[in-house]
Amino acid sequence: QEIRKVVQALEQTAREILTLLQGVHQGPGFQHISKKCQKAREHFGTVRTQMESLKTKFPADQYYRFHEHWRFVLQRLVFLAAFVVYLESETLVTREAVAEILGIEADRERGFHLDIEDYLSGVLTLASELARLAVNSVTAGDYSRPLRISTFINELDSGFRLLNLKNDSLRKRYDGLKYDVKKIEEVVYDLSIRGLNKEATVSAGGEK
């Protein structure tokens, strides 16, 4: 019961961060990305406090016994942290950096930690969000962003291809990555056809 209460509070904070970050998809939101990221970072302060509380609700050596209670919200928080870091620097956040943002451990031996599969699930959710951002960037008149997103997602896809994914739900999520890659490639192709992005045109093989 006590675990559930803290998890509900975490879910509420995650919803607030998500609502805040969804603003980047609207036209004016592109001008305020750094402000939204800063605000999201403040919310992660609340997440860290809630995580501290969660750690006290069960014995440290029984992490996996109760893991199902917070697995979903933890994956969502990984996605949100990864999205903030991407918006700030257009890089992929490491598991260690996410653990630090959330106020938990990266190393299993040290207690309440970020499970590798939860990290990977969160990263796959980021891919879907970036596919959406690529489309909305064009609407907002930002024609170079989809190209950068395309490069990032292709590198991400290459990284996932190296993994031997045994977890069924993770495997299914990974299968969705190819649709995100395809969606972004279509956006870049459309830009190059319309000549809206010189870089896109060159990378598509044309010289204008």
* Per-residue tokens: 114: 């970020």
Q: What is the DSSP string of the chain?
A: -HHHHHHHHHHHHHHHHHHHHHGGGSGGGGGGHHHHHHHHHHHHHHHHHHHHHHHTTS-GGGHHHHHHHHHHHHHHHHHHHHHHHHHHHSSPPPHHHHHHHHT-BSSGGGSSB--HHHHHHHHHHHHHHHHHHHHHHHHTT--SHHHHHHHHHHHHHHHHHTS----HHHHHHHHHHHHHHHHHHHHHHHHHHTT--HHHHHHTT---
State yes or no: 207 annotated in a binding site. Answer: no
Residue list, annotated binding site: 129
Annotated binding residues for Mg(2+), written as ranges, equal 129
